[in-house]
């Protein structure tokens, strides 16, 4: 039977419905099995990242005039401080090496995902430049911003789908409980500035947009 977290993730990836007001972190539950709890954390992170990408896409496509630049800057900041500085480094330090050792056939996929982590940072930097150029009113900046946002969103969705369909099933199959305990401890230490227990200052408008809260 498919993991409910995986189904929720695919729901957001495969065609981005409106943000779900009823969704909250408590819905994920707590699993005592050390093998599944780390996977659930990764699923949860992917769902939350997908929701932020949905707002980015909508913010660009809905903009009749100038986009909400403050909202776009919060999105970029979130993608920089959570996925790029916490989520991805933990994959590279804990999950990927353990899986590579247990399942050498996963090596090429892991190599590509690590390359994509670096490419994602480059694309985010490019998106940041396009936001600033659009805010400054540069010629052609609106079209450039739309292209940069579309490229970044598609790239991140493809990246997460590869992890969901290629890496996590292999990890579930091959890694031992002792390895999952270390991976789980690492991922459990993350602080998500939007979806964590304490909402960071500056993210309230973005959280409200994601959840549909007034």
Identify whether the C-beta of residue 99 lies closer than 8 Å to the C-beta of residue 110: yes
Report pLDDT digits (tens) over 131-175: 999 999 888 898 999 999 999 999 999 999 999 999 999 999 999
Which residues, 6+ apart, have CB-to-CB distance to 9 below 8 Å?
43, 46, 47, 50, 160, 164
Q: Is the pLDDT of residue 55 over 50?
A: yes
> What is the Cα–Cα distance from 133 to 139, expressed in whole angstroms?
9
Residue 67: pLDDT band (50, 70, 90) is confident
Report pLDDT digits (tens) over 97-133: 999 999 999 999 999 999 999 999 999 999 999 999 9
Domains of the chain: 4-211 (1.20.120.520)
> What is the Cα–Cα distance from 3 to 39, expressed in whole angstroms?
10
Half-sphere exposure of 157 (CA within 13 A, CB side): 21
> What is the Cα–Cα distance from 173 to 102, expressed in whole angstroms?
10
pLDDT of residue 109: 98
Least confident interval from 23-27, 60-64, 70-74, 82-86:
23-27
Most distant CA atoms of the chain, gap in Å: 56
Which residues, 6+ apart, have CB-to-CB distance to 172 below 8 Å?
35, 36, 39
> What is the Cα–Cα distance from 131 to 117, expressed in whole angstroms?
21
For 41-53, what is the mean pLDDT? 89
Q: Which residue has the tokens 């992890």?
A: 163
Name the percent of the chain lying above pLDDT 70: 71
Q: What are the backbone dihedrals phi and psi of residue 33, each rounded to the nearest 5 degrees, phi first?
A: -70, 120
Which residues, 6+ apart, have CB-to-CB distance to 137 below 8 Å?
none
């Amino acid at each position: 039977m498919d993991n409910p977290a995986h189904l929720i993730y695919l729901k957001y990836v495969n065609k981005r419905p409106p943000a779900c007001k009823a969704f909250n972190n408590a819905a994920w539950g707590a699993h005592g099995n050390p093998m599944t709890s780390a996977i659930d954390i990764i699923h949860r992170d992917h769902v939350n990242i997908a929701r932020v990408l949905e707002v980015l896409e909508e913010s660009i496509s809905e903009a009749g005039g100038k986009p909400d630049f403050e909202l776009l800057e919060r999105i970029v900041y979130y993608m920089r401080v959570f996925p790029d500085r916490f989520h991805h480094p933990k994959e590279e330090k804990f999950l990927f090496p353990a899986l590579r050792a247990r399942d050498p056939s996963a090596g090429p996929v892991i190599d590509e995902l690590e390359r994509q982590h670096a490419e994602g940072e480059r694309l985010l930097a490019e998106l940041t430049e396009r936001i600033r150029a659009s805010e400054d009113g540069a010629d052609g900046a609106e079209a450039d911003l739309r292209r940069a946002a579309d490229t970044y969103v598609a790239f991140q969705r493809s990246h997460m789908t590869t992890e969901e369909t290629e890496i996590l099933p292999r990890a579930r199959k091959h890694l031992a409980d002792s390895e999952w305990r270390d991976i789980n401890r690492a991922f459990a230490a993350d602080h998500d500035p939007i979806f964590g227990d304490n909402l960071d200052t500056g993210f309230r408008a973005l959280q409200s947009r994601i959840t549909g809260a007034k």
